[in-house]
Amino acid sequence: MTTYESKGNKDTRSGFGDGLTELGRTRKDVVALCADLIGSLKMDTFAKENPERFFQTGIAEANMIGMAAGLTIGGKIPFTGTFANFSTGRVYDQIRQSVAYSGKNVKIAASHAGLTLGEDGATHQILEDIGLMKMLPGMTVLCPADYTQTRQATIASAAWEGPVYLRFGRPAWPVFIPEDMPFEIGKAQLLSEGTDVTIIACGHMVWLALQACEMLEKEGISAEVINMHTIKPLDSAAILRSTAKTGCVVSAEEHNIWGGLGESIAALLAANKPVPQEFVAVNDSFGESGTPMQLLEKYGLSAERIASAARRVIERKA
C-alpha cells in the first residue's frame, strides 16, 4: 500500500485560479469569461493581469457560453467560469448546440460542484452535472482530486483540443497529489496497488478512498485505489486491468448514483468482464444545507462508507 500525506488543506477552485493565472502568462490565446463570480472562481489574478482578455459577462450564463463559442472562431481558447449548476443545467442547450455539436474549443470551468458547496443548499449543489456533460458527444469530462491536480488539469485543458468540462469544488480539502505525479487527460492514476478490491474515485472522494484503503489494510484487506480524474474519455484499460486482478470494484463520487462515474464503470464492465460493483454516491436525491462534512456524512460519502462498500463487494465475489 502506498500512503499519501496531506500537505494541508486548500480548495480545488484555487487550483483552477492558479492554473488560469499561469495560462494567462504563458499562452496569449487563452481568454476567460466569468458570470459575476470572479472571487468564488479565483479568477481575480487572471482578470487583473489580462484585462483585455477577460470578459465579465454579468449574471447571464447563456450569453457567456455563446460568447465563448464565438471566441473560438477567432482562434481563442476561452475558459468560462461559474458554479457547476450554472455551468451545466442552466446552459445545457447552449453547450449542446453552440459548443459540443459545433465542436468548439471551449473549456467550461465549473466550481462549487456537489454537496460540499455546503450551506447554500440544494439549489446550488448540483449532483447531476457529470451525467449531463458526459452524455454530450465529444465532451471531455474532468474531475481532479485536489488543489495540485486541479491546477494541472486546468493547464492540460488548454492544450487539449475540443470542449472540456472541468469540475471542481468549494471547500478546503487535503492536498496530497505529489507535484511530480504526471497528469494526463484520459489516463487514470493508480495511487495504491492492492489485490482484494478496486476502489475507483474522482474529485474530493479520492482522498476519502485513500483513507478507506488504510482502514481496510488494518483489517488485512488489500485495496487498490485508482484516481479517475477523467470520466470521459474513460480509461477502460486501467479499470479492466485492475478488476481482472481484484475481481470486484467500488466506485466513489460526489454525484448522483445515476449518470456519474460509477455508471460509466458499470457499463464498461457489463460490456467486457462483469464483476460485482458497489456504488458510493448520492442515492437519487437532492442535497440540503449543512457543512460540507455533515453533508458528506449524511449522504453516505465518507471513508467509512467506502470501506463498508468494499467489505460488501468482496463478499459478493463468486
Partner 1 sequence: MNPYTISQEKLPELCRQVRRDILRMVHAVNSGHPGGSLGCAEFFTALYGTVMKHTPSAFTMDGMGEDIFILSNGHISPVWYSILARTGYFPVAELATFRKLNSRLQGHPATAEHLEGIRVASGSLGQGLSVALGAALAKKLNGDNRYVFTLHGDGELQEGQIWEAALAAPNFKADNLISTVDWNGRQIDGDTEKVMPLGDLKAKFEAFGWLVFVIEKGNDLAEVTAGLQRAVEAAGKGKPVMNLMRTEMGAGVDFMMGTHKWHGVAPNDEQLQNALSQLPETTFGDY
The residues annotated as belonging to the active site are 61
The CB-of-198 to partner 1 minimum distance in angstroms stands at 37
Nearer residue to partner 1 within complex by CB, 37 or 313: 37
Nearer residue to partner 1 within complex by CB, 133 or 295: 133
Nearer residue to partner 1 within complex by CB, 43 or 226: 43
Q: How many other C-beta atoms can be found within 10 angstroms of the C-beta atom of residue 192?
A: 20
Beta carbons within 8 Å of 126's beta carbon, 6+ residues apart: 83, 84, 85, 88, 89, 113, 114
DSSP state of 53: G
Nearer residue to partner 1 within complex by CB, 138 or 274: 138
β partners of residue 200: 226, 251
The CB-of-85 to partner 1 minimum distance in angstroms stands at 18
From residue 170, alpha-carbon distances to 29, 140, 205, 246 in Å are: 27, 21, 14, 34
Beta carbons within 8 Å of 133's beta carbon, 6+ residues apart: 88, 95, 108, 139, 141, 165, 232
Binding site for partner 1 (CB under 8 A): 31, 52-53, 55, 57-58, 60, 62-76, 78, 93-94, 96-98, 101-104
Nearer residue to partner 1 within complex by CB, 16 or 55: 55
Distance between CA atoms of residues 257 and 161, nearest Å: 29
Backbone angles phi, psi at 247, to 5 degrees: 80, 5
**Sheet strands side by side (includes 77-83):** 54-56, 30-34, 77-83, 107-111, 164-167, 140-142, 230-232
The sign of the torsion formed by the CA atoms of 226, 176, 285, 112 equals negative
CA atoms within 13 A on the CB side of 88: 28
The CB-of-230 to partner 1 minimum distance in angstroms stands at 23
Kindly state the cell numbers that stand for 131. 451525467
The CB-of-147 to partner 1 minimum distance in angstroms stands at 30
Query: Do strands 172-174 and 164-167 pair parallel, antiparallel, or not at all (unpaired)?
Result: unpaired
The CB-of-165 to partner 1 minimum distance in angstroms stands at 18
The CB-of-133 to partner 1 minimum distance in angstroms stands at 18
Nearer residue to partner 1 within complex by CB, 64 or 212: 64
